[in-house]
């Protein structure tokens, strides 16, 4: 394909001259793909999907619940056997093992016997 011809630039003093954007050649127009047309049922289905997606999006602005900043926490990990892990989960109850272990370890580190005894009383 050859390069399109350059349009002459208008003179600075010639205010009445308008420069139109060059039109693409006819062959180039034919090569542009046309957008596919959807059948009425597919278009209706697509509209329903888009509407459902927009409904799920979180509202913007004042309606949103601002997240509270999390505490500045770090990870402290240690290895357990599977049996020890199961014992902790049984003692703490469902979905409370991490909080139970953290409370017990921090109370022991602070030498807070009252909290340790309280935790042990909940297990027994």
Residue 44 is predicted with a pLDDT of 86
Over 80: is that where the pLDDT of 2 sits?
no
Q: Are 89 and 74 in contact (CB under 8 A)?
A: no
Residue 123 has pLDDT above 90, yes or no: no
Q: What's the rounded Cα separation, in Å, for the pair 77 and 36?
A: 56
Host H or E run for residue 42: helix 40-56
pLDDT at residue 82, as a whole number: 93
- The model's pLDDT over 3-25, given as tens digits with 9 standing for 90+, comes to 667 766 666 555 555 556 666 66
Mean pLDDT in the chain?
78
Q: Please report which confidence band the pLDDT of residue 72 belongs to, taking 50, 70 and 90 as the band edges.
A: confident
**Residues 37-66: pLDDT tens digits?**
778 888 888 888 888 888 777 566 655 666
Between 103 and 16, the higher pLDDT residue: 103
């Amino acid at each position: 394909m050859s390069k399109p011809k350059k349009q002459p630039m208008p003179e600075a003093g010639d205010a009445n001259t308008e420069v139109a954007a060059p039109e693409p050649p006819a062959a180039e127009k034919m090569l542009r793909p046309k957008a596919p047309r959807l059948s009425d049922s597919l278009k209706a289905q697509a509209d329903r999907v888009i509407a459902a997606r927009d409904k799920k999006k979180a509202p913007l602005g004042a309606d949103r619940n601002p997240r509270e900043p999390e505490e500045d926490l770090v990870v402290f990990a240690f290895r357990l056997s599977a049996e020890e892990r199961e014992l902790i989960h049984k003692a703490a109850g469902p979905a409370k093992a991490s909080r139970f272990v953290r409370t017990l370890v921090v109370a022991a580190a602070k030498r807070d016997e009252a909290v340790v005894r309280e935790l042990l009383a909940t297990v027994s």
